Amino acid sequence: MIDIELIRKDPDLVRENIKKKFQDRKLPLVDEAIALDKKKRALQQEGDALRASRNTLSKQIGLLMREKKIAEAEQVKAQVSENAARLAEIEREEPEVGEQLKKVMMSIPNIISPDTPIGKDDTENVERQRFLEPKVPDFEIPYHLDILEKLDGIDIDSARRTSGQGFYYLTGDVARLHSAVLAYARDFMIGKGFTYCIPPFMIRSSVVTGVMSFEEMDGMMYKIEGEDLYLIGTSEHSMIGRFMGQTIDGSKLPLTLTSYSPCFRKEKGAHGIEERGIYRIHQFEKQEMIVICKPEESCMWYERMWNYTVELFVSMGIPVRQLECCSGDLADLKYRSCDVEAWSPRQKKYFEVGSCSNLTDAQARRLGIRYKTEKGSEFAHTLNNTVVAPPRMLIAFLENHLRADGSVEIPEVLWPYMGGTKEIKVK
């Protein structure tokens, strides 16, 4: 949510930003916000004036009564009653107008970074850098489900019977590899100075509407029937929600946190062969990183965070690239975002394995996250980034470490987490 002061001072900037995101349908929201803001401020001013008048008139009544000016006192009493009735109307109407304004403001996208390329959708995202040379072996690489089945590492059919489409059982050495990568990612981030957390896996609606836009919420979140609770789509949701309504001691910033959680997503619209298997699923696990910092530090942390993900993948011998998200591919709360994509030797192209985002103060405004300053308090900046999400990472891992005989090599950094196992053999 952007600052209403920006709309007051420069509505054309806000309109131009909406156009850059190709959301012209939202242009009328700027005028709605201006009108509602004007009405809200007028009600506030009128209410304040009536409250001040009430004190003055009460004193006037007392003075008139002492002077035996009964008729005049009754006239003033009538005015007090009339003012009281109007004030009651204002006190009912003002919160309603405030909620209307908040709803409109929450639908207006955050101002995007000057470095964000302008484009309609993810097909216009821009490659910035590559890390490690992508290679294609001289033997055919099977589809990842075939690799997993030969390693006796997955059971899709049973998961369909127990849970439906979009679920799976991991077994044996593959399940151990899955956990090993998460443990390695956890320790990797602790080594970078991040504090490890395990958050709640369910959050209330007040947190959901604070951490994401309404469109994202509808397309992602599972609601618990009969409860004001949602299953988290990523630990970022409950991690950021932890600080909702708080004013943090400025000397404690930045807060650098890394969290583990299962993630639950509807994944509406998933289709195609690459959407099957374990690429796009309803339940997976992830190691995340979250930073809450002062405004002047957020751009620096953005660069650091996505580089940490790159470093992690490179340490496991997986070639990756950084892809700058264009304006039309940015969610409404995002100021700037990039994807880290891993190389797929089978497809001979890169695919997304993580995403890093700087939300400036847009998310903090929705959740009321501030920090203390010498002059009072300011809204903090929030950032989030995927350290690793094993389902997609497993695909990249298996394809890049597959041998001609079907076995999979385990890189040295994972040996301690695999009990010394250096390869997974075909069963």
User: Over the range 245-275, which residues count as b (16 or more CB within 10 Å of their CB) and which as e?
Assistant: eebbeeeebbbbbbbbbebbbeeeebeeeee
Q: Can you give the pTM of this predicted structure?
A: 0.89
Greater confidence (276 vs 282) lies with: 282
Predicted local distance difference test score (pLDDT) of residue 273: 41
Which band of pLDDT confidence, cut at 50, 70 and 90, is reported for residue 325? Answer: very high
Cα-based distances in Å from 167 to 15, 222, 354, 389, 412 = 42, 15, 20, 15, 30
- Identity (one letter) of the amino acid at 136? V
CA pair distance 60, 54, nearest whole angstrom: 10
Query: Which residue is listed with tokens 């708080």?
Result: 246
Q: Which among 274, 233, 285 is positioned nearest to 389, based on CA atoms?
A: 285
Q: Look up the CATH number of domain 122-424.
A: 3.30.930.10
How many beta carbons lie within 10 A of that of residue 341, not counting itself? 24
pLDDT tens digit string along 179-233?
999 999 999 999 999 999 999 999 999 999 888 876 677 778 899 999 999 999 9
pLDDT tens digit string along 123-140?
999 999 999 999 999 999
Both tokens of 212, joined, read: 């994401």
Domains in the chain: boundaries: 4-105, 122-424
Cα-based distances in Å from 378 to 161, 247, 252, 371 = 52, 9, 14, 6
Both tokens of 88, joined, read: 């009651």
Both tokens of 145, joined, read: 């489900």
CA atoms within 13 A on the CB side of 18: 19
Beta strand 336-344 pairing with 320-324: antiparallel
**What is the average pLDDT value for the chain, to the nearest integer?**
92
Predicted local distance difference test score (pLDDT) of residue 214: 64
- Identity (one letter) of the amino acid at 334? K
Q: Which among 385, 105, 367 is positioned nearest to 248, based on CA atoms?
A: 367
Query: Mean pLDDT across the stretch 85-95?
Result: 90
Contact of 119 with 125, CB cutoff 8 Å: yes
Query: Which residue is listed with tokens 């395990």?
Result: 198
Query: Mean pLDDT across the stretch 287-314?
Result: 97
Q: Is the pLDDT of residue 268 over 70?
A: no
Contact of 239 with 263, CB cutoff 8 Å: no
Percent of the chain past pLDDT 70, that is, above it, reads 96
Which residue(s) pair with 123 in the sheet?
none
pLDDT tens digit string along 352-397?
999 999 999 999 999 999 999 998 999 999 999 999 998 889 999 9
Peptide bond into 319 cis (omega under 30): no
Domain 4-105 has what CATH class?
mainly alpha
Query: Which residues contact residue 36 at a Cβ distance below 8 angstroms, ignoring those fewer than 6 apart?
Result: 97, 100, 101, 104
